[in-house]
Amino acid sequence: MTADVWLLLTALMICIGHCTLVIYGAFDGGLGWSMLELQGEKVFTFRKVIWASQILWAASITFVRLGLLHFYKRVFPTPKFKLAANIVFGFTICWCLTSIIGTLAAYRVYSFEVPIDYDQWLLANSLLNLAQDVATLCLPLPVIKNLHISTRRKFMVGGIFCLGFFTVIASIVRTAYFKRLGGETPLQHTFSATVVYCTIWSVIEPCNSLIAACLPGCAPLLRKENRGLPTVIRSMFSFASLRSAGSNRSARSDPQKSKIGETKGNATTPDDRSDSYRLIQLQRMQA
């Protein structure tokens, strides 16, 4: 497998872990609970969930971008495009390190005092993330424009890459909720709901990015040739029906084989028939 596949698989594992964390947070971590219900250790459990969610979000979205950039460089191997992709690649890694180190340094689970305005830092971090989404998705469009193919094909190829723009929408919504979070305090009744929305969209964005990053590789399934999606589906059903028919034939043949075996077991051999004939003749002579 190529490097982009490994990067996307890593992103998938992190996304699964992030989703599991959020589910745990909703059940037993205080996520979505009223601030009045968070007492004792539940307060610190809630803060741990938020702390870990921020780190997993940054890691998952970064691995998706790196995998997509590697895919770009394989598909469009021109020197200028590779240079542009490497610049975005380096910026993405720097942003990820900044995001994770900033969270580890500024967000303290067992202390409510932070050295920076953490809410404003989250907002700035989200804006940089939004800029990266736009840059990553728009990166291949100039190359697609210069391809020597029909305009219809250009729109089709560009449309596959632009399906990831829902990721930009998710990033915008997430940024809007973080902006709202910066203007609220834990004592407000809307604070808990805002935290939930921030967390949910932090899950939606990388998961949707992962789906969008896999779409270009699924393009051959939509072709009209023999390798198209309908043919693949028909092949799957044909394979399943052949296996079912084979099992039915073997089930029908087993009773016949058993009957044949029984008949063979009950049948008399020529030696047996001759012995019976001699016994009958002997009885007649004695009579």
More confident residue, 267 or 8: 8
Which of 19-28, 59-68, 82-91, 184-193 is least confident? 184-193
22, 53 in Cβ contact below 8 A? yes
Question: How much is the pLDDT for 143?
Answer: 82
Instruction: Provide the domain limits for residue 261.
Output: 233-286
Is there a single domain that holds both residue 265 and residue 179? no
Residue 68 and residue 183 in one domain: yes
H/E element, 266:
helix 229-266
Question: Which pLDDT value is given to residue 233?
Answer: 47
Same-domain status, 191 and 282: no
In a domain, 244, yes or no: yes
pLDDT one-digit tens code per residue, 25-46: 888 877 888 777 777 778 888 8
- State residue 8's pLDDT score: 92
Residue with the two structure tokens 């709202």: 180
Structure tokens at 80: 């200028």
Domain boundary among 171, 196, 222: 222
Does residue 50 share a domain with residue 135?
A: yes
Do 71 and 177 reside in the same domain of the chain? yes
- What sign results for the dihedral spanned by CA atoms 69, 94, 123, 186? positive
| Residue 227 within any structural domain of the chain | no
Residue 282, domain member (yes or no): yes
Whole-number pLDDT of residue 238: 58
Task: Provide the Cα torsion 96, 99, 105, 109; round to 10°.
Answer: -110
The C-alpha atoms of residue 114 and residue 106 are separated, in whole angstroms, by 6
- d(CA 259, CA 232) in angstroms, rounded, equals 42
Question: In this structure, are 252 and 168 located in the same domain?
Answer: no
Tens-digit pLDDT profile for residues 232-267? 445 545 555 555 555 555 555 555 545 444 544 454
| Of the residues 182, 203, 222, the one at which a domain ends | 222
Q: Are residues 211 and 238 in the same domain?
A: no
Two tokens at 2?
Answer: 């190529």
- Is residue 140 located within the same domain as residue 45? yes
- In the chain, what's the furthest Cα-to-Cα distance? 123
Note if the pTM is more than 0.85. Answer: no
Q: How far apart are CA 109 and CA 224, in angstroms?
A: 55
Asked whether the predicted pLDDT for residue 81 surpasses 80, the reply is yes
Same domain, 72 and 191: yes
What is each CA distance from 80 to 76, 83, 87, in whole angstroms?
10, 5, 11
Tell me the per-residue pLDDT of 82-120, one tens digit each, with 9 for 90 and over.
Answer: 999 999 999 999 999 999 998 888 777 666 666 777 778
**How many domains in the chain?**
2
- CB of 30 closer than 8 Å to CB of 98: no
Give the model's pLDDT for residue 256: 52
Same domain, 174 and 237: no
Q: Do 137 and 177 sit in the same domain of this protein? A: yes
The answer to the question of residue 256 being in a domain is yes
CB 76, CB 141: distance < 8 Å: no
Residue 228 lies in a domain: no
Q: Which of 183, 202, 222 is the last residue of a domain?
A: 222
Are 179 and 263 found together in one domain?
A: no
